[in-house]
Structure 1
Amino acid sequence: MKCLMSLCFFCCVFLQVQAQQPTTIQEIKTDSVAQKLLQYLAHKQADSAYTLAGEAFKKALPHDTWIAVCEKQLYGLMPFRNISFLRSKNGINKYKMDGIVPLQLLISLDNTDKIQVFLIQPFQDDTRKKVPSATDNAKQTSLDKTVDTLLENYINTLGNVGASVGIYINGKDYFYNYGETAKDNKQLPTNATLYEIGSITKTFTATLLAKAVIDKKLHLEDAITKYLPDSVAANTDLQAITLQQLSNHSSGLPRMPINISFTVTNYLQPYENYDNAALFAFLKQFKATRKPGVTYEYSNLAVGLLGVILERIYNKSYEQLVLEQIAKPVGLNNTKITLTQQDSTLLAQGYNEKGEAVPAWRFKSLAACGAIKSNAADLLRYGKQQLAVFKSPLQAYNQLAHQPTFSDGVQKVALGWHFLVEDADVVWQHGGGTYGCRTMLCVNEAKGIVVTVLTNNATNGDALGIKLLQALERLK
Structure 2
Amino acid sequence: MKKEWYEALTEKELRKAKNGSIAIGVVTKEGRFYDGQFYDEPNETNVKDMIFEIGSTTKTFTSLLLAKMVVEGTISLDDPIVKYKPEYKKSLVNNGKEITFRHLSTHLSGLPREDMKVLRKRMKQDEDAKHNVFKYYTTEDLHRFFTDYPLKKHIGKKWGYSNLGVGLLGNVLCDILGEDYETAITEQILTPFGMMDTFVTVKDENLNRYTTSYNAKGERIPQIEIPATPGAGILKSTLHDMLTYLEYQMGMRDTHLKDAVSLSHQIHGNTPSKKTKMGLGWFIEKKEWCTEPIIHHGGTTLGFHTYCGFLKERGIGIVVFSTIQLKLIRLLKIALSLEDNVNANIANAVFKELIS
TM-score range, shorter chain: 0.7 to 0.9
Give distance in 2, aligned partners of 1:377 and 1:443.
Answer: 15
CA contact (8 A) 1:426 1:446 kept: no
Give distance in 2, aligned partners of 1:224 and 1:337.
Answer: 25
Does residue 213 of structure 1 match 2:70?
A: yes
- From 53, 65, 68, the equivalent of 1:196 is 53
Change in Cα spacing, 1:469 to 1:241, as seen in structure 2 (3 Å) is farther
The equivalent residue for 1:237 is: 93
CA contact (8 A) 2:90 2:148 kept: no
Unaligned 5+ segments in structure 2 are 327-340
1:239-295: CA deviation from partner (whole Å, max 9, x where unpaired)? 611111111111000000133334453221111132332112111221223211111
Q: Whose RCO is larger (CA < 8 A, sep 6+)?
A: 2
The equivalent residue for 1:427 is: 294
Q: Secondary structure at the match of 1:358?
A: coil
Deviation at 1:235, TM superposition (A): 5.3
- From 210, 218, 227, the equivalent of 1:347 is 210
The equivalent residue for 2:16 is: 157
CA contact (8 A) 1:226 1:233 kept: no
The equivalent residue for 1:471 is: 352
The equivalent residue for 2:25 is: 166
Q: Which residues in structure 2 correspond to 1:246-261 (within 5 Å)? A: 246-258=104-116, 259-261=118-120
Give distance in 2, aligned partners of 1:382 and 1:359.
Answer: 26
The equivalent residue for 1:92 is: none
Change in Cα spacing, 1:408 to 1:151, as seen in structure 2 (3 Å) is closer
Give distance in 2, aligned partners of 1:469 and 1:396.
Answer: 29
Deviation at 1:458, TM superposition (A): 3.0
- From 257, 274, 298, the equivalent of 2:137 is 274
Q: Secondary structure at the match of 1:388?
A: coil
Give distance in 2, aligned partners of 1:179 and 1:339.
Answer: 20
Q: Which moved more, 1:385-394 or 1:446-455?
A: 385-394
Q: If the length of structure 1 is used for normalisation, what is the TM-score?
A: 0.65
Q: Secondary structure at the match of 1:451?
A: strand
CA contact (8 A) 2:135 2:224 kept: yes
Q: Give 1 or 2 for the bigger CA radius of gyration.
A: 1
Q: Secondary structure at the match of 2:32?
A: strand
CA contact (8 A) 1:350 1:436 kept: yes
Give distance in 2, aligned partners of 1:399 and 1:374.
Answer: 23
The equivalent residue for 1:328 is: 191
The equivalent residue for 2:233 is: 370
Name the % identity.
27
Change in Cα spacing, 1:388 to 1:470, as seen in structure 2 (3 Å) is same
1:100-119: CA deviation from partner (whole Å, max 9, x where unpaired)? xxxxxxxxxxxxxxxxxxxx
CA contact (8 A) 1:167 1:380 kept: yes
1:404-446: CA deviation from partner (whole Å, max 9, x where unpaired)? 1111450411111001217966420000101110110011112
Aligned residue pairs, count: 331
Change in Cα spacing, 1:181 to 1:311, as seen in structure 2 (3 Å) is farther
Give distance in 1, aligned partners of 2:90 and 2:139.
Answer: 17
Q: If the length of structure 2 is used for normalisation, what is the TM-score?
A: 0.86
Query: CA RMSD for the aligned pairs?
Result: 2.3
1:237 aligned partner, one-letter code: V
Deviation at 1:337, TM superposition (A): 1.1
Q: Which residues in structure 2 correspond to 1:401-420 (within 5 Å)? A: 401-408=264-271, 410=273, 411-420=276-285
Q: Secondary structure at the match of 2:224?
A: coil
CA contact (8 A) 2:251 2:258 kept: yes
Deviation at 1:234, TM superposition (A): 5.7
Does residue 357 of structure 1 match 2:213?
A: no
CA contact (8 A) 2:305 2:343 kept: yes
Give distance in 2, aligned partners of 1:273 and 1:200.
Answer: 22
The structure with more helix, counted as a fraction of residues = 2
